[in-house]
Amino acid sequence: MRMYDIIMKKRNGGELTREEIRYFVEGYTKGEIPDYQVSALMMAIYFRKMTEAETYELTMAMAHSGDMLDLSGIRGVKVDKHSTGGVGDKTSLVLAPIAAACGISVAKMSGRGLGHTGGTIDKLESFPGFTTALTRERFIDNVNRIGIAIMGQTADLAPADKKLYALRDVTATVDNMSLIASSIMSKKLAAGADAIVLDVKTGSGAFMKEEKDARALAEEMVKIGKSAGRTTVAVISDMDQPLGRAVGNALEVKEAIDTLNGRGPEDLMELCLTLGSRMLLAGGKAETEEQAVEKLRDAVESGAALKKLAQFVEAQGGDSRAVYHTELLPQAKILLPVPAPQDGYVSHIACDEVGICSLILGGGRETKESEIDLSVGLVLHKKVGDYAKAGETLAVIHANDRAKAEQAAQRFLSACTFAESAPKRTPFIKAVLSQTGGA
């Protein structure tokens, strides 16, 4: 088998076989096939697309390119949740404790953020002492004891995906539905969960700006999960403005704690109930969506979910006192209110621009080596549809540098659009796609 023939076959619109896909994935992972040939193949795939069968085979080849995490030592159905990312997305910090309090085993691998804010691991490190550097034995033991464990993604998990993504990133071949879906799902399948719940974002702050593209990606990933024998559900949710009101690592942790105390933003709670109900159904802890939602609400109202967060933080070396005393979380020295320049309804907030505000303040990474300031970010006082009078606070910037605070304030102001009448409300949850996989 020759790489040249595989490139030419795809260039001419042919369908690659399982053997051909495994040949190039294995060869590239081992360093036996050069970048320039795989670049040519990625471009051929970009223009000629992949069939459903090819996409599945590519996903499985990448999933099996390194370790396949064995979670058989964990009792019960293991349910994983994945988000395609957005601004202010602290969902896992709320959802994992609520689901665990309802009896779901949440064994999750997460990464660090590269972009406007940190990833789930960065946010959790707002708790002093918290670590995700767990051995696999401790990871499994923590899930069995308290229902949750989150560890950092190992270099041996889907290494082909890391190499292919880095190559696609510099060859203008990222934006292909099959390549995106296989990249996400290869890591989820390698991580060993029995069921996968996907939160696919759409809007100005999401990777998929258009709802039709988000739906297409969701459908593609659900099909892959079905073919792999995993129960897979995809929820399409709005990311045309930040999720909740807090953007920034410790600020998002505080908002997650507020939500577990029953005082969280409406949109964040709606998302957690939608995703959580699917987790409970997939894990056999509820028979109907209504029953699942009732159990999730009970876990919050009884305090069981908040207690579960404290247990989880403590089990991974963190100071659980911060769960009950959020003033122990990192705090910025400068609080700068951003006043409304006029009377009117907030008709639009450019979500990606809000993310850049956080990045300016130091809340995200421009490179993998960047140091994150966990205390900085912004808290929105007005969201789309809210009325503001001139001079009223739209948001508060949390910063440790006055010049950066003022720069972020101006950037935030330019991201807001005002109108004389309230904008038309659109559903926050756009769709739920499911397809149950057989064992």
Active site residues: 82, 161, 168, 183, 187
Sort residue 302 into left (φ over 0), alpha (ψ -120 to 50) or beta: alpha
- Alpha helix segments (H runs only) across 171-248: 177-190, 211-227
Q: Tell me the backbone φ, ψ of residue 232, rounded to 5 degrees.
A: -135, 130
Element (H, E) at 433: strand 429-435
Half-sphere exposure of 436 (CA within 13 A, CB side): 8
Residue 310, beta-bridge partner list: none
Return the C-alpha torsion angle 211, 217, 221, 227, nearest 10: 110
| Token pair of 376 as six digits | 């900085």
Burial status of residue 36 (CB atoms within 10 A of its CB: 0-12, 13-18, 19 or more):
exposed
Q: Tell me, rounded to whole angstroms, the distance of Cα 6 from its chain centroid.
A: 34
* Rounded Cα gap, residues 74 and 139, in angstroms: 10
